Every structure is written in structure tokens, then in C-alpha cells.
């Protein structure tokens, strides 16, 4: 009986199935060959048919099941009738078997805000860098990111034509994060992951100040957080205002659920209440371990340039 489960766990279980459907749509759009690319604000700020269809799918599927939720999606789409085949009404039963952390057991639907990035890493998607692409559904309560789902539509795509594509990672604060193998970068190694297509002098100055052994320039905030939890990078450094709340909400939960930390460049926690501005205007600093080391190396000039 669904009513025996808490609102939060029902929402996470539904969002998991919805994210899997989203991954299927992302793959289908590429397979059909017409990406339907539109420039939003610049040549690096793109929207594709996949962004549009996935957002309609996620937001409509969630709104049908949870009509009192606040849902904030990245794409500014005109209201239209959503095709029934975009609706996902299933839920991942494995999640419903998990206990809801007691501090969230009495949460009401109307108390939750869901931040949706239908396709994180759009530019990379258009260029065929498919391992950079994620679908992000983040759930916030009282301004704090508390549950998140990341679907990687093309996980495993380099394993050959018969590979099973895609995986879904999920997490709830106080319960844990699931769907991946936690790994750490070797001790003493400083590997920085940062933006591939939105770099500038502030970003490069901040990355250099970390004294990195290596710098990985990749697309997608979801992808960068996955690099942290899978031992490919030790810090995600983005000293610029380009990142938005829908980019960070879900990944932040996964990172925090395994003991990592994500803040702005000044060390402030990000806020996710529905009235908050969408831009993370003071950038992002995230690590799985040794947060204080990286935070201590952010240059004052960078902090002064980025106003929260």
C-alpha cells in the first residue's frame, strides 16, 4: 500500500523510474538523428529536442503523482499538452523497501521543491561526448538539498555494441547513496575537475592555486560529482557564476550522503528554497575528502570577484 510509505520515499522511488525513462528518451533522440538544437543565450548555451522532451516527461510525470510539489526545471517551455508516451507512472520498489530517515518522515508534499536539469552537459551531448551527459532530479526541503537522482544515459557506452547502456545513482541524506562503487583518489594526489566550455581567467587562476597534479576539463556538473565519488578527481572547482541550482541540487546530495562537501567558492552552503535565485553566482567548490585543503587555497582575488 503506497500510503504506508512516506512522501519523500515515494517521491524518490517515482523520480528514479522517471529518470530512467528520461535516459531512454535521451538515447532515442540521438538514435533518431535530429537533435533539434536551439541556441539560448550563446553558442555554448544550447537546448536540444532531448532537453525539451525530457523536461516535459519529468515535470509532467511528477506533477501528476505529486500535484502539490514545487517543480523548477531548467528549460523555459511553453505550456502544452504532453504526449502520454512521455509520462512515467512507475516507481522503483527497491527504494520503497528502504527506511525513511526519521527527520524527513513527516514531510508534506507541499514542503518540497524539486530542481530538474533534463540534460546536464547539453553542449557535450551535441558533440558526441556522451559520457559527460546526465539527467538530474534534486529534491530540497527547507532550502537544503536532501535527496537526489542522477541518470547517466550513456554509462558503459564505450564497452561495445552489446553493452547495456545507462545507470541511475540515487541518494537521501541520512540514508546513503546507491548505484555506484565509492572510490577515492590516491592519497596526496590533487586532481581537479573543472569546466570544459565555460572557462575564464577566474576559473584558471583558482584551479592553478590548487597546485594540481592534473586537471580534467569535462562537461556537466553531474558528471564532475561522479568523478569525485568514483576516484577520478579530488576536487571540483568552478570559480564563475555559470552554474545553476538545477545543476547542483541532485549531485550535492549524492556527494553529501557519502561524506563529501559542496559549497560556493566562499564556503557557503547553497540554498534551494523556491524563491532563491537560480544562479550559483559565487561558483562551486566540491570535494569527497580534504575540503579544507582546497578551500584554503582559493585566492582572495577570486573570492572578491564572486559575490554570493
For 108-164, strand residue ranges (E) read 112-120, 134-141, 144-152
Is 111 annotated as contributing to ligand binding? no
- Alpha carbon 164 to its chain centroid, in Å, reads 22
CA distances from 86 to 60, 80, 149 (A): 8, 13, 18
Check the CA dihedral 157-158-159-161 and report its sign: positive
Residue 262 near residue 270, CB atoms below 8 Å:
yes
Is 131 annotated as contributing to ligand binding? no
- Beta-carbon contacts of residue 6 (< 8 Å; ≥ 6 apart): 100, 104, 105, 106, 107
CA distances from 44 to 127, 128, 200 (A): 11, 15, 13
Is 117 annotated as contributing to ligand binding? yes
Catalytic residue among 122, 134, 168, 248: 122
Helix residue ranges per DSSP H, 267-307? 291-296, 300-305
Residue 306 near residue 283, CB atoms below 8 Å:
yes
At 290, list the grid cell.
580534504
**Residue 122: active-site member:** yes
At 230, list the grid cell.
568514483
Q: What are phi and psi of 117, to 5 degrees?
A: -110, 105
Minimal CA–CA distance to 202: which of 269, 299, 294, 308? Answer: 299
Catalytic residue among 48, 51, 194, 195: 51
**Residue 248: active-site member:** no
Is 230 annotated as contributing to ligand binding? no
Residue 120 near residue 221, CB atoms below 8 Å:
yes
Residue 118 near residue 132, CB atoms below 8 Å:
no
Minimal CA–CA distance to 152: which of 178, 173, 134, 138? Answer: 134
Is 45 annotated as contributing to ligand binding? no
Q: Hey, which residues are catalytic here?
A: 51, 122
Which amino acids are annotated as binding site, given as ranges? 74, 117, 119-120, 247
Amino acid at each position: 500500500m503506497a500510503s504506508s510509505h512516506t512522501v519523500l520515499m515515494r517521491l524518490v522511488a517515482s523520480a528514479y523510474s522517471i529518470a530512467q525513462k528520461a535516459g531512454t528518451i535521451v538515447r532515442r533522440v540521438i538514435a533518431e538523428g535530429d537533435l533539434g538544437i536551439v541556441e539560448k543565450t550563446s553558442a555554448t548555451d544550447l537546448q536540444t529536442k532531448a532537453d525539451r522532451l525530457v523536461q516535459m516527461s519529468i515535470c509532467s510525470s511528477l506533477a501528476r503523482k505529486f500535484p502539490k510539489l514545487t517543480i523548477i526545471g531548467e528549460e523555459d517551455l511553453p505550456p502544452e499538452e504532453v504526449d502520454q508516451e512521455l509520462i512515467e507512472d512507475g516507481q522503483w520498489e527497491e527504494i520503497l523497501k528502504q527506511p525513511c530517515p526519521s527527520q524527513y518522515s513527516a514531510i508534506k508534499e507541499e514542503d518540497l521543491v524539486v530542481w530538474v536539469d533534463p540534460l546536464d552537459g547539453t553542449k557535450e551531448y551535441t558533440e558526441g561526448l556522451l559520457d559527460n551527459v546526465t539527467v538530474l532530479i534534486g529534491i530540497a526541503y527547507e532550502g537544503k538539498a536532501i535527496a537526489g537522482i542522477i541518470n547517466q544515459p550513456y554509462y558503459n557506452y564505450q564497452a561495445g555494441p552489446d553493452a547495456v547502456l545507462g545507470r541511475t545513482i540515487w541518494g537521501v541524506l541520512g540514508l546513503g547513496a546507491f548505484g555506484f562503487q565509492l572510490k577515492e583518489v590516491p592519497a596526496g594526489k590533487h586532481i581537479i575537475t573543472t569546466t570544459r566550455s565555460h572557462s575564464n581567467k577566474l576559473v584558471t587562476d583558482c584551479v592553478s592555486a590548487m597546485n594540481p597534479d592534473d586537471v580534467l576539463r569535462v562537461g556537466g556538473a553531474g558528471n564532475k560529482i561522479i568523478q569525485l565519488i568514483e576516484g577520478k578527481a579530488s576536487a571540483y572547482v568552478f570559480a564563475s557564476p555559470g552554474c545553476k541550482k538545477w545543476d547542483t541540487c541532485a549531485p550535492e546530495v549524492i556527494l553529501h550522503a557519502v561524506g563529501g562537501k559542496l559549497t560556493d567558492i566562499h564556503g557557503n552552503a547553497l540554498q534551494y528554497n523556491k524563491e532563491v535565485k537560480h544562479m550559483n553566482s559565487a561558483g562551486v567548490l566540491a570535494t569527497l575528502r580534504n575540503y579544507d585543503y582546497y578551500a584554503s587555497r582559493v585566492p582572495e582575488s577570486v573570492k572578491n570577484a564572486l559575490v554570493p
